[in-house]
Structures are given as structure tokens and as C-alpha cells.
Amino acid sequence: MAFDPITAVLGIGEKLVDRFFPDPKAKAEAILKLRELEQSGELAAIAGQLEINKIEAASPKLLVSGWRPSVGWVCVAGLAVQYVLGPLLEWGTLLAGKAIKAPSMDMATLMPLLTGLLGLAGLRTFEKVKGAEGNR
């Protein structure tokens, strides 16, 4: 991987394009889009954000390095309340003869956040499987 973050991101992008686009025409279009991102400066912004993420993750301060895991725990707590604790509470109170309805959560807001986090976790797992953890 190159020391220049823009070249590194571009290299990763090209490897992903090679892997996920078997059709030569689709592959050429995807690489063209990637080059357009590089020319427009968006690739530099992505590379800069990746560098910031590395610095934040290495911080010894919990409020700097811990915000991402805390967002994940909030998602886990929301899912637990909505799909485990709430139904168990309703069932238990029904058995006790004093049925109550647990409030439902706004899952339309929580699910996009959770799927984004799971996507990032999946990519990190893929990196570890491929032996890329030395880059962090």
C-alpha cells in the first residue's frame, strides 16, 4: 500500500473493482468513475477522513476513541429493547394478569445506522481475513 493516502484509496478501489466487476465493460466504467472521483477531489476527502479515523481510534481518551463503539452499543440496546425485552415484558405482564403494551421504538431511524455499522464491521473482518491488520 502506498504512503500517499489518495493513491492508497485509489489502489484499494481498483482492487475492489477487479474483484466485483467481472465484465470488462463494467470494470472500465467503474474505474473511470473512480478516476473522476480522484480528479474532483472527493477521493482526497475520503483519504483524509480515513486518516482522521485512524488517529481517533488510536486515542487513549475514551470520548475520542470510544464514540464509535458506543454508537454500536446504542444500536444493540435499541434492538434488545424492541425485539427481546419489550416482548418479554408484555408476555410476563400478560401471564401475571395485568397486560401492558411496551412502547415501540422508531426502527426506521435505528436500522440505517445499524446497517452502516455492520457494513463497516464486515469490511474490517474482510481486511483481517486477508491479512491487512498490519496496516492499522
Confidence of residue 133 (pLDDT cuts 50, 70, 90): low
pLDDT digits (tens, 9 = 90+) for 112-131: 888 877 777 677 677 777 77
Q: Are residues 72 and 121 in the same domain?
A: yes
Q: What is the mean pLDDT of residues 108-114?
A: 83
Q: Are residues 87 and 47 in the same domain?
A: no
Angstrom distance (rounded) from CA 69 to CA 19: 30
The tally of domains found in the chain comes to: 2
Q: Output the pLDDT for position 95.
A: 94
Q: What is the mean pLDDT of residues 71-94?
A: 89
Under 8 Å between Cβ of 104 and 110: no
pLDDT at residue 6 greater than cutoff 90? no
Boundary residue ending a domain (15, 39, 60):
60
